Amino acid sequence: MNEPSIRQIRYFIAVANMGQVSRAAMELNVSQSAVTTAVKQLEDIVGAPLFTRHAAGVALTYEGNIFLDHARRIMAAVDEAVRSPRRLRDDVKGTLRLAMTYTVAGYFITPYIERFARAFPSVTLQLTEAPRNAIEDGLVSGTFDLAVMLTSNIMDQEGLAYETLLQSRRRLWLSSQHHLLDQPSVGLSDVAQEPYIMLTVDEASNTTQRYWNRTSYRPKTIFRTSSVEAVRSMVAAGMGVTILSDMVYRPWSLDGRRVEVISLDDPIPTMDVGLAWAANVEQNTAVSAFREFMHVGDETHSG
């Protein structure tokens, strides 16, 4: 049996993330036919269809969703091997007091912490989940060394520096039978006509309000909750729609119902995840190793 290539897996993940072959091709800077061929070859190897087509693009099948989880692990392992810090790992010792927000803890950081702990066994990790304002105060006061948080929510607090690692697109979540799936394009004007499930955790409702306020429309909120899983279940059951980031998207609710996503015509800001730390504070080797491990670039923003 043929083995899948890294290229095929990378193209598959791009299509899964973008929801459209054309968008994935643009993201990868390759032709649509190259992406289509790679996915078809991968489906032949796996022995099952990985996507179904609908009016707005493509959606993962059950088998595709399972394969996506494995594909992301494979690419993460490849990525780790390629960008492994060029230092003697056994020489990196000390304690890293790492804070994180709820969304980061639940949907982003775990695989990175797992691999960092394996790569740097002499570093002691002290992990804390806290709201943004408590993390910002803790970084400035020296309670935390470093934080992984939604950098798009940082209020330019004096004394903080941060680096964005991931920009996660926000898209419309809706049930698999929703009538908006049949429309060629959907905007906030359409969403405003639908019952809306509002997520409140990690200031999600504040962020939502900011981009709605740029328009003359308002969401018709019927329920507010701090639980992403509650939002997912209600949307899948057809009780309403919501706009949330791809990072927290999963195609199945806990009771096994399908959640679809489509991109909106209106400009919706991304949800940005990154590292934050106290500016002008000397960092120990454990903090430096974690920042390097997370592939932080050279440009930072200071508040």
> What percent of the chain lies above the pLDDT cut of 90?
50
State the Cα–Cα distance between residues 147 and 50, nearest whole angstrom: 36
22 in Cβ contact with 15 (< 8 Å): no
Beta carbons within 8 Å of 182's beta carbon, 6+ residues apart: 55
pLDDT of residue 72: 87
Class of domain 6-82: mainly alpha
- pLDDT score at 301: 46
Mean pLDDT, to the nearest integer, of 216-225? 96
Class of domain 170-269: alpha beta
Q: Is the pLDDT of residue 296 over 50?
A: no
pLDDT at 299: 40
pLDDT digits (tens, 9 = 90+) for 249-271: 888 888 888 999 988 989 899 99
Cα 234 to Cα 134, 248, 264: the distances in Å are: 31, 15, 20
CATH assignment, 89-167+272-302: 3.40.190.10
89-167+272-302 matches 170-269 in fold: yes
SS (H, E, C) 45-65: HHCCCCEEEECCEEEECHHHH
Residue 165: other Cβ atoms inside 10 A? 17
Average pLDDT over residues 188-214: 93
Q: What are phi and psi of 53, to 5 degrees?
A: -100, 140
- What's the pLDDT at 297? 38
Kindly list the domain boundaries of the chain, sorted by start residue. Answer: 6-82, 89-167+272-302, 170-269
pLDDT at 302: 43
The confidence score (pLDDT) of residue 127 equals 97
Higher pLDDT, 172 or 85: 172
Whether the predicted pLDDT of 185 surpasses 60: yes
What was the pLDDT predicted at 80? 67
Q: What is the pLDDT of residues 224-240, one digit of tens each?
A: 999 999 999 999 999 99
Supply the mean pLDDT for the chain.
Answer: 88
Amino acid identity, residue 20?
Answer: Q
Percent residues over pLDDT 70 in the chain: 93
AA identity, residue 297: G
At 290, the pLDDT band (50, 70, 90 cuts) reads very high
H or E element, residue 171: strand 170-175
Predicted local confidence at residue 156, as pLDDT: 61
Q: Given the structure tokens 């693009």, which residue do they identify?
A: 57
The continuous run of DSSP H or E covering 244 comes out as strand 242-245
